[in-house]
A and B are shown apart, each in its own frame.
Chain A
Amino acid sequence: MNHPEHELAKKLVQYLDYGVDHLEPGVREQLAAARRTALSHYREKPASVLGLAWAGQAAHWLTEHRHYSARLLIAATALVLATAGVVYWQNTGPANGLGDIDLYLLTDELPVNAYLDKGFDSWLKRSSR
């Protein structure tokens, strides 16, 4: 195809190639240094590819063992929920409430509501015996 546009482009490219061939030595050295830096990061198997390979293997296993996958998913979900429950219990459970009551008793700052609670009365009688 000898379109005038292509002809002009071809001639312009010849000039651009000339410019690249006659690049300043300083720039050429900097480019070579940049290339060496980049190549120093070369790995036979890049990390991201390894990660993808692992994910691929896992996905492949799940599709191959489809009858296991549902049970596995349920077990994993149960485990996650149980762990979350334990963490929640530790942070907001009654142990902390009891600790607070002990503290209130020691400092004589028990709230009025505690005295109105029948259970508290009986507990007080039992503990005083």
Chain B
Amino acid sequence: MQPPGSTKARPLATHKELSDFLAEVERRAYKQALFAVRDNHAALDVVQDAMLKLTEKYSARPPTELPLLFQRILQNTIRDHFRRQKVRSMWTMPVSSLLGGDPEGDADPLETLEVADDSKFSEPPAEQAARAQVLAFIEKALEKLPARQRQAFLLRYWEELDVTAAAKIMGCSEGSVKTHCSRASHALAVMLTKQGIKL
């Protein structure tokens, strides 16, 4: 029994535990960041920043707390990226408007993706190609979702967090998380059906 007033000892994340955890989540984190920021280099920067913050500030936390902490840090880092981008665009927008906008800016990226007529997988190479095509479509569809819907969908279903944890990370109510998830699923289903993709 511990003496009164002493701090309760907690099993802290060791270097190996932290390394294993980061190795497990880094690729999904990269994809999450990529869906949000839509730039390979920026997504890598976001993930690196999030990993650094976790290691520098929260390595003294028990390993069980790492997934929630990391997701919170990652989402905040993505938000910071957009804040910085907004400030930057305040200066660059007037210049770019003078030079003329991007003529392809209004193009729908989903329209440029070709989906195979036969989505059923028969042979391994064909299966691979078809799967890659559907995956590319799904990823583009996720990019097109509103940020909050995408966030809720990925946290709940990809990161397998419960509604309470997702709500904590997103800073909203559990009801909002459910609503965002439902809307995201519906929107994705509509986009897939529109392209004739049946999963």
Contact among A8, A11, A38, A44 for B22, CB-based, below 8 A: A38
Task: Check A12–B188 contact: CB distance below 8 A.
Answer: yes
CB-CB nearest in chain B for A24: B40
The secondary-structure label for the interface of chain B is: helix
Task: Check A41–B56 contact: CB distance below 8 A.
Answer: yes
Interface size on A, residues (CB 8 A): 37
Contact among A11, A22, A35, A53 for B51, CB-based, below 8 A: A35
A16 and B156 CA atoms in complex are apart in Å by 14
Task: Check A12–B199 contact: CB distance below 8 A.
Answer: yes
Contact among B5, B7, B27, B189 for A23, CB-based, below 8 A: B27
Interface size grouping (class) on chain B: 35 or more
Task: Check B189–A8 contact: CB distance below 8 A.
Answer: yes
Residue of A19, A37, A44, A53 ringed by the most chain B CB atoms within 10 A: A19
- Can you name 5 extra interface pairs (CB under 8 A) apart from A9-B181, A20-B31? A9-B153, A13-B157, A18-B131, A27-B30, A53-B7
Which 8 A-B residue pairs are closest in the complex by CB-CB distance? A38-B51, A34-B48, A9-B157, A11-B199, A5-B185, A20-B27, A38-B55, A31-B26
Q: Give 17 pairs: A residue, B residue, CB < 8 Å, sorted on A.
A: A8-B185, A12-B188, A13-B157, A15-B135, A15-B138, A15-B199, A16-B139, A23-B27, A31-B47, A38-B22, A38-B55, A39-B18, A39-B22, A39-B55, A42-B15, A42-B18, A43-B59
Give me the interface of B with A, judged by CB distance under 8 Å.
Answer: 5, 7, 12, 15, 18-19, 22-23, 26-28, 30-31, 40, 44, 47-48, 51-52, 54-60, 131-132, 134-135, 138-139, 153, 156-158, 181-182, 185-186, 188-189, 199
